[in-house]
Amino acid sequence: MCWGSRPGAPRSGCTANWSNATRRGSSASATWRYEFYPIRSTEQQSRNFRIHEDFLNHIDILPENIHIPDGTVPEARISEYCASYDHSVRKIDLMIIGVGEDGQIGFNEPGSYAKSRTRLVQLTHNTRKIQSGAFFGLENTPKMAITMGIDTIMRAEKIILMAWGEEKAKIVQAKSPARCLPRTCRCTPISRW
């Protein structure tokens, strides 16, 4: 699932739909694509914190079925951790993805390879600038993030690619919003501005 700055309405819809879907059993799981690094899950700017506040605290899901990258892994173990996280993402039925301001998916910034896996990435200045409002200034905004790679994302059976707002219209119209995704992607684009 995506959990950037938009869209609020689909989030509340997700909560209602998840509640209906999970009545069928407790085997449902939720996996997120990225987390800032370094950051504690208790920090309000953490994706982990936001996801719990906005979604997970309102649905019935087993804690062991929640998969969010850990922004506190020691730097000496980050490669091992990313490989382990990538390996744990074996089956994804549905991936809901938002398009970033530069056409990126998650923190797969421009130049990311189609065969990329979960890894620690350096955020571009533009990405940090966009995120800086939540961190009370660019100087407080993390320079790195753990992100699921394009190859990992492509394991999903179905992908819904969303672009919301006027600022995304130019991206969608000018170029492929997810230029990193292979042309064979099982992707349903949803745009609204």
Cis omega (within 30 of 0) for bond into 189: no
Closest CA to 99 of 51, 160, 50, 163: 163
Which amino acid, residue 80? E
Closest CA to 87 of 67, 105, 108: 67
Catalytic residue among 64, 109, 139, 166: 109
CA distances from 6 to 135, 165, 171 (A): 17, 9, 16
CA distance 140 to 154: 32
CA distance 77 to 75: 5
19 token code pair: 């509640």
Indicate if 43 belongs to the active site: no
39 token code pair: 């950051």
Q: Catalytic amino acids?
A: 109
